[in-house]
Amino acid sequence: METSPGSRPSKAAVFLDRDGVLIEDRNYVHRVEDVKIIPGGPAALKRLTQQGFMLFIVTNQSGIGRGYYTLEDMHRVNAFIEAEYAHAGVRWHRLYFAPEAPDAPSRGRKPSPQFIFDARDEFGVDLARSFMVGDKISDLECGWNAGVERALLVRTGYGSKTEKRYADRMSQAVIVDDLPAAADWIIQRVRSRPDNDPNRGHPGG
């Protein structure tokens, strides 16, 4: 299915949750000194960049709506995380965040697929050939709601808890240990296609 606007070629993407996926989840991380990058994460995402995937961060930041920290705190932490990955050769395309508390109206708070749709519309992402990686059920639901090829659950962050608590829904998900394992799974998936380029060829064809 062609999902990109106009004649722009569609591209595959990987959508990534932040806390518990790119960095350790230490409950409402809002200071740079509390950021702990997931071991092997930057090298893993560099491999995805080299494979031609566009990379997006999609993060719920309810700590802002709850009054725990400010928008500026979040931007500072985001910039630090993005730079740590970029130094390793990762190319980011955009970060989407939902600052609202869980009970407040929100345009894009996961499990809403809205931010993934925004990326599709703005960057010409082919969702049927794209992936979502997260540690909570709302991350997986966001990917499923958007119609990505597969949603991957990492066991870091809340992932192990999610795996047990929502065991009845895990058959839909791809479960891996961590971000490096997620990247490896995605790269293997692409290599198993008739055309190794993530942006060409046809699923199942």
Which residues of the chain form contacts with Mg ion (CB under 5 A)?
17, 19-20, 135, 157
> Nearest-CB residue to Mg ion?
20
Query: Which CB, 20 or 143, lies closer to Mg ion?
Result: 20
Residue of 140, 94, 31, 185 whose CA lies nearest to 23: 31
Provide the minimum distance between the beta carbon of 9 and Mg ion in the complex, in angstroms, as a whole number: 31
Burial class (CB in 10 A: 0-12, 13-18, 19+), 156: buried
Provide the minimum distance between the beta carbon of 164 and Mg ion in the complex, in angstroms, as a whole number: 16
Query: Which CB, 17 or 100, lies closer to Mg ion?
Result: 17
- Cβ–Cβ < 8 Å for 87, 41: no
Query: Which CB, 31 or 191, lies closer to Mg ion?
Result: 31
19 is a catalytic site residue = yes
Report d(CA 188, CA 192) in Å as an integer: 6
Query: Which CB, 51 or 60, lies closer to Mg ion?
Result: 60
Provide the minimum distance between the beta carbon of 159 and Mg ion in the complex, in angstroms, as a whole number: 8
Provide the minimum distance between the beta carbon of 59 and Mg ion in the complex, in angstroms, as a whole number: 8
Report d(CA 193, CA 205) in Å as an integer: 8
Residue of 147, 106, 164, 159 whose CA lies nearest to 15: 147
17 is a catalytic site residue = yes
Among residues 19, 25, 73, 135, the one annotated as catalytic is: 19
Greatest alpha-carbon span in the chain: 50
Report d(CA 133, CA 177) in Å as an integer: 11
Q: Which residues are part of the catalytic machinery? A: 17, 19
